[in-house]
Amino acid sequence: MERPVKLDCRGVWKIYGSDPKAFLARHGGAPTAEDLAAERMTGAVRDASVQICEGEIFVIMGLSGSGKSTLVRCLSRLIEPTAGEIQFEGRNLLSMNEAELIEVRRKKMGMVFQHFALLPHLTVLQNAAFPLEVQGVDKKTREDRARQMIEIVGLVGREDHFPRQLSGGQQQRVGIARSLVADPDLWFLDEPFSALDPLIRREMQDEFMRLQAMLHKTIVFITHDFDEAIRLADRIAVMKDGVIEQIATPEELVRNPATSYVEDFTQHIPRAKVVKLRSVMAQGVPEGPYAGELPGSLTVAEAVDQVEAAPHPFKVLDEDGVAVGTIDGRTVVDVMIGRRS
């Protein structure tokens, strides 16, 4: 069953320059890159359309200046789009007045940014509870809720610490707890781990996936790191110069890039990290013997040690646990060395 759309963005533009709305109108709502350059306009986001489904991790990625952060700020209306439509849970986000928008942001949206932006004079508990304090929630209720979030992000025992007493990873966990305390329906994360060193970054990615398995949030996640994107994403939007080049699963991006830019962007990613067993299995399940069963959703990299070491092939299971194919050591090795993907 297809998941319902939580956030529906269609034809969104964000143009900087002199009277961008008039500029768009002069060019029929579809100016080219040449039109933008000729009139010294900057197309930070150009005709972007995305539909983000309930419960998915939707990653927006691209190099610095690609427009990914601008697009997310348009989606949350932290900045005003020049043109386009944005529907959140069936409501027109762009027609909301300031009071309605504040209410949606406080109760429906959570945000985590690259720079932790913790309040230095508040403790971990007070920082985590701060969004509920802004909402006027009584002290006991907000602190009880904040303690639950602190436990979820693994900071029990540090409730009375100040930000300066925490490591970078711990500070980011406080930021995550704070963004979750109001139980948002939509969670925006703008390069939340990029300021962390590689080991802590990996740990925070693990923590993020653990939280998502518990909470099942709808997530829009920005990164410029393709390894991070393929590890976390259900789907990825690749941006360049304000334009969405392709939206696809990590596997589809790597195996079937829609543009030369996406192909260049993904060419150094090991195929085994993204290719699923279901994509390279032999169809059908003849008589055994078999070494066991593996879900088709596993990547080749995740399964290679087990499959290669086994004396017999494995059955491959679909989402319902039904055996639909087989996988053997030769096939996974072929993918690992780039002979097949």
> pLDDT-derived band of residue 233, with 50, 70 and 90 as boundaries?
very high
Sign of CA dihedral 37, 38, 42, 43: negative
Alpha-carbon separation of residue 24 from 43, 143, 254, 256, 305 (angstroms): 11, 48, 34, 33, 55
Statement: residue 341 has pLDDT above 60: no
pLDDT number for residue 71: 95
In a domain, 282, yes or no: yes
Handedness of CA 329, 332, 337, 338 (dihedral sign): positive
Best CA proximity match to 45, nearest among 85, 20, 82 = 82
CA torsion angle 260 265 271 276 (round to 10): -90
- Tell me how far apart the alpha carbons of residues 7 and 21 are, in angstroms, rounded to a whole number: 24
Q: How far apart are CA 126 and CA 134, in angstroms?
A: 12
Whether 271 contacts 331, CB under 8 Å: no
Q: Are residues 264 and 188 in the same domain?
A: yes
Q: What is the mean pLDDT of residues 255-283?
A: 91
Q: What is residue 263's predicted lDDT score, i.e. its pLDDT? A: 92
Can you state the angle between helices 329-336 and 300-309, rounded to 10 degrees?
140
Query: In the listed set 219, 253, 268, which residue is the last one of a domain according to the structure?
Result: 268
What residues contact 126, with CB distance under 8 A and at least 6 apart? 119
- In this prediction, residues 56-61 reach a mean pLDDT of 95
Q: Is the pLDDT of residue 1 over 70?
A: no
CA distances from 166 to 173, 228, 301 (A): 10, 24, 35
Report helix, strand or coil for 185.
Answer: coil
Q: Which of 225, 245, 268 is the last residue of a domain?
A: 268
Q: Return the pLDDT at 196.
A: 77
Instruction: Note whether residue 214 is domain-resident.
Output: yes
Do 189 and 263 fall into the same domain? yes
How many domains would you assign to the chain?
A: 2
Q: Let me know whether 308 and 252 are in one domain.
A: no
Residues 54 and 218: beta-carbon distance below 8 Å: yes
Structure-block tokens of residue 273? 């990290």
Interval 44-64 mean pLDDT? 95
- pLDDT-derived band at 191 (thresholds 50, 70, 90) equals confident
List strands edge to edge, sheet with 91-92.
Answer: 42-53, 5-16, 83-88, 91-92
According to the model, what pLDDT value does residue 211 have? Answer: 86
208 plus 263 within the same structural domain: yes
pLDDT over 90 percentage in the chain = 67
Domain that residue 217 falls in: 54-76+97-108+184-268
Q: Which amino acid is at 58?
A: F
Contacts of 138 (CB under 8 A, 6+ apart): none
pLDDT digits (tens, 9 = 90+) for 60-114: 999 889 999 999 999 999 999 999 999 999 999 999 999 999 889 888 998 887 7
Query: Which residue among 215, 240, 268 closes a domain?
Result: 268
CA–CA distance from 308 to each of 270, 311, 333, 337 (Å)?
Answer: 18, 8, 7, 13
Provide the pLDDT confidence category of residue 201 given band limits of 50, 70 and 90: confident
